[in-house]
Amino acid sequence: MKVYWIWLSILPHVGPVFQKRLIKYFRSPLSVYKAAREELEAVKGLNKRVISSVLNNRSLKDAETIAEKAIKQGIGLLSFDDPLYPTSAKICPESPVLLFYKGHLRPFEHSIAVVGSRRCTAYGRKVAEEIGKQLAGLHIPVVSGLAKGIDSYAHASCVQHGGTAIAFLAGGVDVCYPKEHFRLYHEILEADGAILSQYPPGTLPKPPFFLRRNALISAWSTELVVVEAGMRSGALWTEKFAVGQGKKIYAVPSYIHVPEGVGTNQLLAQGVEPYLGINSLEAIRDLKMECEPPKEHEQYNQILSTLSESSNPHTISSLSELLKINEQLLMNELFDLELNGRIIIRGNVVKKV
């Protein structure tokens, strides 16, 4: 039966919206395959081009070839009738009736999309890695696109800390793109994550496919965090899709003179909620959980204890001297604490919240 799902998914001129109209009316891809012209014309919202495509492409040869290739490569088929296809994704207009995947799929209540610029700053990387790490600790999947920059940093951090990553590709799931993420690709699978695509095995990425991939990233998430984005960043397209899909969106505040953050700052100016730490997310509030600094970092406790002992604010330099920590290393620790909402840094002055 999966052959008919493949057949429907590769019909020319029949995109996700029309695919779902056909399934809603006929209930199964086999019934669509067998439908006569009169039956197809009775479906509201179908144009002549779609009807002709269904009637003139009855051969199952290509679908059978794709099915055989998927079986040989251990690629799974997630059809619209599968309970593992998230309900929240099904209602998004961009979601196709069939997805190809490698790895493991499981139900989840919350999932967070983390997206941003390929050419990100050190600040953006730090935020992406922090989000990935914290979501891993909360057993909330990180959804992204395996792209360079923010996507890969969030995914890698999530996997390294025992979390689940869900990656959408702009080509077949057997085509790792970019090639330099071959190791991360396999780490995601080894960590019981999943790699998905709406395109058959062997499909090479093309520019239009990246936009469709971005739509699926937001469709499979319950919330979206845009970490960094320049004015032409694909992450802004993901945000647009998320708006249309009714997703909760956050943007990380950026420096005003950094081009990689112009897009995120513009989102904030338009009213998008700022991401000020993991507790900004609705998923965390729903779980009624507070994300404390990781226990393995004793220096966090030392910093907080030192700040509590004095009523006077400390400078970064004075903290460095008191704690005997290199100033650069201290800055990294302070950055983590600020992301967690435990301290406030104003210029060179550090205050405990």
Digit-coded pLDDT (tens) for 151-185: 999 999 999 999 999 999 999 999 999 999 999 99
What is the spatial distance between Cα 79 and Cα 59, in angstroms, rounded to a whole number?
20
DSSP class of 342:
S
**How large a percentage of the chain has pLDDT more than 90?**
72
347 sits in the region (left: phi over 0; alpha: psi -120 to 50; else beta) called left
Mean pLDDT over each residue of the chain, to the nearest integer? 90
| Burial profile 21-34: b = 16 or more Cβ within 10 angstroms, e = fewer | bbbebbebbeebbe
What is the spatial distance between Cα 190 and Cα 184, in angstroms, rounded to a whole number?
10
Report field, pTM of the whole predicted structure over 0.85: no
Tens digit of each residue's pLDDT (9 = 90 or more) over 63-92: 999 999 999 999 999 999 999 999 989 999
Structure confidence at residue 296 (pLDDT) = 43
Tens digit of each residue's pLDDT (9 = 90 or more) over 2-60: 999 999 999 999 999 999 999 999 999 999 999 999 999 999 989 999 999 999 999 99
73 CB-near residues (< 8 Å, 6+ apart): 174, 201
- Which of 197, 223, 202 has its CA nearest to residue 212? 197
Phi and psi at 258, nearest 5°, equal -100, 120
> Averaged over 219-248, what is the pLDDT?
93
What is the spatial distance between Cα 116 and Cα 251, in angstroms, rounded to a whole number?
10
> Averaged over 209-215, what is the pLDDT?
95
- Which of 248, 246, 249 has its CA nearest to residue 93? 246
Structure confidence at residue 290 (pLDDT) = 47
Tens digit of each residue's pLDDT (9 = 90 or more) over 303-343: 888 888 877 778 888 888 888 887 767 877 787 787 777 88
DSSP characters over 78-121: EETT-TTS-HHHHTSTT--SEEEEEE-----S--EEEEE-SS--
Extended strands (E) in 106-252: 112-116, 142-144, 165-168, 194-197, 223-228, 248-251
Instruction: Write down all domains in the chain, each with its CATH number in brackets.
Output: 2-72 (1.10.150), 112-287 (3.40.50.450), 298-352 (1.10.10.10)
Structure confidence at residue 75 (pLDDT) = 97
What is the spatial distance between Cα 3 and Cα 334, in angstroms, rounded to a whole number?
55
What is the spatial distance between Cα 97 and Cα 29, in angstroms, rounded to a whole number?
10
Structure confidence at residue 72 (pLDDT) = 96
What is the spatial distance between Cα 167 and Cα 153, in angstroms, rounded to a whole number?
12
> Averaged over 240-255, what is the pLDDT?
93
> Averaged over 180-200, what is the pLDDT?
96
Structure confidence at residue 148 (pLDDT) = 93
CB 17, CB 74: distance < 8 Å = no
